[in-house]
């Protein structure tokens, strides 16, 4: 459970949105994005890699080779922290640094063969995590929720593009 500053657990009711959906999504994101919660789950799962390493492997498998600056952006951290994460992964033989062919001044971080295996293991953990969450659901409920979530994500991505252009000002008729 995610804890607030006083040690109490946080839930959807702790977010004062008018939208119950947004409050619930906020609670879910806070829970699943919590380095503490993720670190505890990884430790109990017998994983030797920490949560920032898992995130890095996940992004590299999904998006391919990335510059350290791009990794810092998606991880929401600074360049020095990314350098430490990449250094540990490089020591473990999971990534390698190389010169970016499109800009010889820049570096790319790429998964090694062992890194790809480890990254796929990260996704397998996610699959096990969601399977446990949905274990009491009927197959029909899982399909319906999946369909609605796919629609929601698609609409949210489209809306984010529009919001980047105009902000959150009301749309003119």
CATH assignment of the domain containing 97: 1.10.10.10
Do 140 and 109 fall within a single domain?
no
Do 111 and 61 fall within a single domain?
yes
Can you tell me whether residue 116 is helix, strand or coil? helix
Residues sharing a CB contact under 8 Å with residue 43, sequence separation 6 or more, in sequence order: none
Q: Is residue 1 domain-resident?
A: no
Q: Tens of pLDDT along 3-19?
A: 544 555 778 888 888 89
Q: What is the mean pLDDT of residues 124-130?
A: 90
Domain count, the chain: 2
Q: What are phi and psi of 45, to 5 degrees?
A: -85, -5
CB 68 within 8 A of CB 107: yes
Can you tell me whether residue 101 is helix, strand or coil? coil
pLDDT at 60: 97
pLDDT at 173: 64
Q: Is residue 23 domain-resident?
A: no
Do 148 and 87 fall within a single domain?
no
Q: Tens of pLDDT along 33-49?
A: 888 888 888 888 888 88
Question: What is the extent of the structural domain holding 154?
Answer: 134-164
Looking at the DSSP assignment, which residues form a beta bridge with residue 41?
none
Do 55 and 95 fall within a single domain?
yes
| pLDDT at position 90 over 60 | yes
CB 35 within 8 A of CB 81: no
Q: What is the mean pLDDT of residues 127-153?
A: 96
Distance CA 47, CA 17 (A): 36
Q: Is residue 36 domain-resident?
A: no
């Amino acid at each position: 459970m995610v804890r607030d500053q006083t040690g109490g657990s946080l839930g959807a009711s702790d977010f004062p949105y008018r939208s119950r959906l947004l409050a619930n999504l906020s609670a879910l994101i806070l829970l699943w994005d919590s380095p503490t919660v993720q670190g505890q789950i990884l430790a109990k799962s017998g994983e030797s890699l920490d949560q920032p390493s898992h995130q890095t492997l996940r992004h590299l498998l999904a998006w391919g080779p990335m510059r350290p600056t791009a990794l810092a952006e998606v991880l929401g951290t600074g360049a020095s922290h990314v350098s430490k994460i990449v250094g540990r992964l490089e020591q473990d033989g999971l990534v390698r640094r190389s010169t970016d062919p499109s800009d010889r001044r820049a570096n790319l971080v790429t998964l090694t063969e062992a890194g790809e295996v480890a990254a796929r293991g990260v996704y397998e953990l996610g699959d096990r995590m969601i399977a446990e969450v949905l274990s009491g659901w009927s197959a029909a409920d899982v399909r319906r929720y999946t369909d609605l979530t796919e629609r929601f994500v698609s609409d949210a991505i489209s809306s984010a593009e529009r919001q980047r252009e105009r902000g959150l000002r009301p749309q003119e008729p």
